Structure 1
Amino acid sequence: MDDYPLLGMFFTILWFFLFIAWISCLLSILRDIFRSADLSGAGKAGWTLLVVLLPLFGVLVYLLARGDSMQERELQEEARREQVRQDYIRSVVNKPAA
């Protein structure tokens, strides 16, 4: 422990958490690419290749080009899930008791 100072350990932990945040951001963008209905198959393949082959540049370009609509797609998906959940609850509640 004498040859690894406290500041070095702090920076190691900092880089580890930044790496985890980067992976989370990357997975979020990949999920958004494949969930997007307004992209064609070639567009999805192109964005995926750009994000995977050139990660920093690809993510920054994606966020600049399509970042505004990411939240809209997320809200639409959540509204759809809520509607399916409500429909299921109504179908179970309205069934007559056996």
Structure 2
Amino acid sequence: MEKVNKMASEKPVVIFSKSSCCISHTVWTLFHDFGVNPTVHELDEIPMGPEMEQALSRLGCNPTVPAVFIGGELVGGANEVMSLHLKRTLKPMLKKAGALWV
């Protein structure tokens, strides 16, 4: 869990994903369309991926991917990100984290 928290706090926006997850790609596309360049960690392509996926599950991510962190804080998955976007609170959150300057 310590490794996940460390990686999640290294950049303003971090997404834990799997290369085969189309929902993760959709979340990445949303951020990209805002002009945000999230750091993406593909759990199926890194050595500690399975352990990190278990840690995400213990943090409450269900499903475990995508798991989105903004400003080092767990936001949740695609549903939570889209909900924040629809409530118009996602962009202010991104600005506060230093991921968006507009």
Using structure 1 for the length normalisation, give the TM-score.
Answer: 0.28
Larger radius of gyration: 1
The structure carrying a bigger strand percent of its residues is 2
Using structure 2 for the length normalisation, give the TM-score.
Answer: 0.27
